[in-house]
Amino acid sequence: MPVFDFNNTPDDKKAAECTYTIFYSGEGEATPEKPMMVLDNQMKKWEHHSLGMFTNPVKRTAFEFQQETGTVSADILKIDARFVSLLKWLGENHINVRLSGENTEGGYAVYKIREIAFGGGTKLSAEDGFLQFMIERLLASDAPTSQVSDEELEEMGDSMKLTSLQSIIDFMDCAGNTLPDNIRLWARRNLAVARSHEVSPEERRHAQRALSIMMNVQWKSDYFEAIDPEEARRILDEELYGMEKVKQRIIETIIQINRTHTLPAYGLLLVGPAGTGKSQIAYAVARILKLPWTTLDMSSINDPEQLTGSSRIYSNAKPGIIMDAFAMAGESNLVFIINELDKAASGKGNGNPADVLLTLLDNLGFTDNYMECMVPTVGVYPIATANDKEQISAPLMSRFAVIDIPDYSFEEKKVIFSKFSLPKVLKRMSLKEEECIVTDDALDAVIEKYADTTGIRDLEQAAEHIAANALYQIEVEHKGAITYTREMVNELLG
């Protein structure tokens, strides 16, 4: 149960006690029958409009009614989960309010709260209008799925970010020895620059920014837990239909971890036509390895500096995409998914962006121009995709285990359309399978329609088109169910 500490209280006072239970409601309007909260009225029947203030929980979670004879307290018995935080806020800020409610057998049912001014209490910046705005927002919101007590609201270490210079200094003092040796020495040098008054403010700013980026990455060891081959196969089956040789080759490559407890010496290069599921395989391997992943789309990178970062001599200098990936992941062990490696641009006369990847792929360390430090890459596993391996340079090819991804056969496409693509679309559109039926002859017509295209993206679009057409006929033309024949499919898909 939430226990709120609205006031500063001496240490010798007794422990706070929460008197209410929480109920969950999605009502858009509060009424006596569906109130925001219920107060105890056994001792006294409260007036329809009552003035007072929510109290310190040391006096029990209650409302103090302002009476002519003085203050009378009543326990809060029940409260709508949506209004728990509002109750805390009103109490912490000592807001004087007027409750509107009715006495029922279960207690004083409060259905309206308004701010009023008396006794020198705190006034809201926008007075009652702001309070009514918050209440309207709460009533329009859905009930929270669960209520977390204040005792459970502990700060998690993972949510902490080292941004201020003092926090970075404290981290270096307490945990600097957990950093790799070269990064620890680099951090001391940059810390000296960030604290120095003999350099320009811009240099200090860059040094502090670089420190913050580097310190917020958890630099892990190169030890990796063994993988479960059966679980790996299950994950691959979820993402890829058929292609047994491809799945076997992938598992054979990564199973090395079970003996060496280090990543395989070679990354994976998945080569095949568009739409054959290369990216899905890459995401599946990241799941198998239980590592965060990031993507590099080489088709959109036309300058090596986008990968390596810019020098700090420029005022608008910043780290490169690779260093940003480490910062976003928050750790040094991750999967780099390099999309369209064969489409890497030659750049603007400053070199080939694809060649910058060589140091990353060698796992010997990567140097970012902005960070000015070699970043350990022993925990980086690269997975690249390409349509044409002939366009990839020999040095890059030598860093990968190449796996050719063949196109799907006619029969495989039929299974994928009928067992995966169409059912997925029907489920998303809330259509039942018996409402949209594709006959065997119609199924053949769909596959024949896209026989000359690679992959299954066209099949997925065809499934979308057929399902949308069925939904239209059911909703607009009020038909019970649609059964598609070859002729109907040919007319629909053109």
Can you spell out the DSSP letters for 439-461?
-HHHHHHHHHHTTTS-SSHHHHH
Q: Where are the domains of the chain?
A: 21-151, 158-215, 229-403, 410-493
What does the alpha-carbon distance between residue 209 and residue 163 come to, in Å, rounded to a whole number?
A: 8
Residue 1 has pLDDT above 50, yes or no: no
Please compute the mean of the pLDDT values over residues 146-173 and round it to a whole number: 65
Distance of CA 255 to the CA centre of its chain: 29
Residue 203 has pLDDT above 80, yes or no: yes
Q: Using an 8 Å Cβ cutoff, are 304 and 322 in contact?
A: no
In sequence order, what E strands does 182-306 have?
267-271, 293-297
Adjacent-strand bridge partners of 367: 374
pLDDT tops 70 at residue 483 = yes
Burial class from Cβ neighbours inside 10 Å (0-12, 13-18, 19+) for residue 477 reads exposed
How many CB atoms are located within 10 Å of the residue 350 CB? 11
What DSSP line would sit under 117-169, residue for residue?
--TT-B--TTHHHHHHHHHHHHHHSPPPS----GGG-PPPGGG----SHHHHH
In this structure, are strands 97-104 and 107-115 parallel, antiparallel, or unpaired?
A: antiparallel
Identify the pLDDT of residue 160.
Answer: 52
Q: Specify the CATH superfamily of domain 229-403.
A: P-loop containing nucleotide triphosphate hydrolases (3.40.50.300)
pLDDT value, residue 58: 52
- The reported pLDDT for the residue numbered 7 is 47
Q: What is the mean pLDDT of residues 83-104?
A: 87
Dihedral of CA atoms 30, 32, 35, 40 in degrees, nearest 10, equals: 160
Q: How crowded is the C-beta side of 216, counted as CA atoms within 13 Å? A: 23
CA atoms of 306 and 317, how far apart (whole Å): 11
Average pLDDT on 379-394 reads 89
- Mode of pairing for the β-strands spanning 380-386 and 334-339: parallel
Question: Mean per-residue pLDDT for 2-22?
Answer: 57
Query: Is the four-CA dihedral 321, 327, 330, 333 of positive or negative sign?
Result: positive
So what's the pLDDT on residue 59? Answer: 54
* pTM higher than the cut 0.75: no
Listed in sequence order, the residues at least 6 apart from 140 whose beta carbon sits closer than 8 Å to its beta carbon are 28
pLDDT for residue 320: 92
Q: In this structure, are strands 267-271 and 400-404 parallel, antiparallel, or unpaired?
A: parallel
* Chain Cα centroid distance, residue 131: 32
- CB distance 336 to 296 below 8 Å: yes
Compute the distance between CA of residue 86 and CA of residue 82 in angstroms, rounded to an integer: 8
Beta strands 70-80 and 21-23, pairing class: parallel
108 pLDDT band (50/70/90 cuts)? very high
Q: Which fold has domain 410-493?
A: Helicase, Ruva Protein; domain 3 (1.10.8)
Q: Which helix (H) or strand (E) holds 109?
A: strand 107-115
